[in-house]
């Protein structure tokens, strides 16, 4: 195990909170993530090595989606469907916590930390997890919305253009449903994002995600466009 000097490996969330918003970092993170997913897709030996399903279920699927379904009744059936399909998918190694706070930006590229709930499962979860943070940060630091949305765009385009284990249309559909599910989960689930705490803003997120989950928006690009529109409408 190596010690990584903070001066050489700054935390990505800290950079984003300071207005140091570089879409190249988002591209590099997506490249590193999709490399992990491509390299482990279909490797059945990893299923037993990363037999961590119960932890992933408890702190991700149950805490995020099932708790949201209990709190937002209209989404209860959809949240159960999302959990069932995600839990049943055994495709590639999943990190489980791909957020800017768990990524260091090093001289040789991003370093992912804190994979306590890593398992062999649905890789779309990781992509959706990171994309969700870019949208929520538009509420945290509204003046830098344009930069966060550019990171969202660069991340998703890099990820989808390099993923090799699934038809792109189906992969987009899976990521998009998880993306919208996570948006509402971070304000209505058990693990609420700390910087979206006022009730009015939480309701905005809840209403947005609920509407587009029910209407089955098809792509993450559409989600970003609709998000930008609702924030501009203010």
Q: Which residues contact 18 (CB under 8 A, 6 or more apart)?
A: none
Q: Per this entry, what is the length of the chain?
A: 234
- 37 and 98 Cβ atoms separated by less than 8 Å: no
Q: What is the pLDDT of residue 4?
A: 74
For residues 191 and 63, is the Cβ–Cβ distance under 8 A?
A: yes
Q: Which residues pair with 120 in a beta bridge?
A: 93
Per residue in 139-182, pLDDT (tens digit) is 999 999 999 999 999 999 999 999 999 999 999 999 999 999 99
List of domains in the chain: 12-233 (3.90.1200.10)
CA–CA separation, 169 and 105 (whole Å): 30
β-bridge pairing 119-121 and 92-94:
antiparallel
pLDDT (tens digit per residue) in 17-58: 999 999 999 999 999 999 999 999 999 899 889 988 999 999
When pLDDT is averaged across residues 222-233 and rounded to a whole number, the result is: 96
Which tokens hold the place of 117?
């709930």
Rounded to two decimals, the pTM is 0.96
Cβ atoms of 147 and 137 within 8 Å: the answer is no
């Amino acid at each position: 195990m190596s010690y990584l000097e903070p001066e050489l490996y700054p935390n990505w969330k800290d950079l984003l909170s300071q207005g140091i918003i570089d879409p190249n970092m988002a591209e590099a993170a997506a490249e590193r993530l999709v490399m992990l997913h491509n390299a482990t897709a279909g490797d059945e030996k990893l299923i037993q090595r990363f037999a961590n399903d119960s932890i992933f279920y408890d702190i991700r699927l149950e805490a995020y989606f099932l708790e949201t379904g209990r709190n937002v009744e209209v989404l209860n059936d959809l949240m159960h469907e999302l959990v069932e399909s995600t839990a049943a998918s055994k495709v590639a190694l999943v990190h489980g916590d791909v957020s800017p706070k768990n990524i260091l930006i090093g001289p040789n590229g991003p370093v992912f930390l804190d994979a306590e709930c890593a398992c062999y499962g649905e890789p779309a979860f990781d992509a959706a997890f990171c994309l969700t943070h870019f949208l929520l940060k538009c509420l945290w630091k509204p003046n830098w919305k344009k930069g966060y949305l550019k990171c969202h765009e660069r991340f998703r385009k890099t990820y989808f253009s390099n993923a090799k284990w699934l038809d792109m249309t189906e992969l987009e559909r899976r990521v998009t449903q998880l993306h919208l599910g996570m948006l509402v989960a971070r304000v209505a689930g058990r693990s609420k994002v700390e910087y979206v705490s006022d009730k009015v803003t939480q309701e905005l997120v809840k209403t947005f995600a609920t509407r587009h989950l029910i209407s089955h928006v098809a792509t993450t690009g559409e989600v970003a466009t609709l998000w930008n529109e609702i924030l501009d409408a203010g």
